[in-house]
């Protein structure tokens, strides 16, 4: 008797709007936790949203902007800064953005004594004399 009931229940589940909505949400959701050492904030993002980090390089005194995307990991990085600051990071040995574009990470950490700003989706986080750590919890 139970074996005849199982296919019926499975068919009902697969035919339900709630099941397919949950499956789509699970596929499209990006769950990220942002930590600053004292607080932890969970965020639900889409794969189309992007992140960015803004800070001033303390050696060159010039601003740096890093952008990234979240399709399956923190990836698609791109840096914007002046040639002197890029040379500081690369010693002039390689094209910075080509190297950054290959990076794929589940965890990021940015630290600054002067200050930095991080934007995920439409939410800003700021820290001075500290770090911001991002972890992509979903998808695993």
pLDDT in tens, 19-54: 666 666 667 789 999 999 899 999 999 999 999 999
Query: Residues 85-114: pLDDT tens digits?
Result: 999 999 989 999 999 999 999 999 999 989
Q: Sign of torsion, CA 81 95 87 70?
A: positive
First to last CA, the chain: 38
User: C-alpha angle with apex 33: 27 to 37, nearest 5 degrees?
Assistant: 170
Q: What is the pTM of this model?
A: 0.80
Domain residue limits, the chain: 9-138
Predicted pLDDT at 4:
55
Confidence of residue 117 (pLDDT cuts 50, 70, 90): very high
């Amino acid at each position: 008797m139970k074996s005849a009931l199982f296919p019926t229940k499975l068919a009902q589940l697969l035919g339900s709007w709630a099941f397919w909505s949950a499956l789509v949400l699970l596929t499209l959701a990006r769950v990220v936790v942002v930590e600053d050492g004292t607080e932890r904030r969970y965020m639900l993002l889409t794969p189309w949203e992007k992140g960015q980090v803004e800070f001033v390089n303390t050696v060159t005194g010039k601003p740096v902007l890093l952008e990234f995307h979240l399709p399956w990991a923190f990836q698609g990085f791109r840096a914007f800064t002046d040639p002197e600051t890029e040379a500081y990071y690369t010693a002039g040995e390689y094209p910075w953005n080509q190297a950054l574009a290959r990076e794929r990470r589940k965890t990021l950490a940015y630290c600054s004594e002067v200050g930095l700003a991080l934007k995920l989706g439409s939410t800003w986080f700021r820290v001075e004399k500290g770090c911001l750590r991002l972890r992509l919890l979903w998808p695993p």
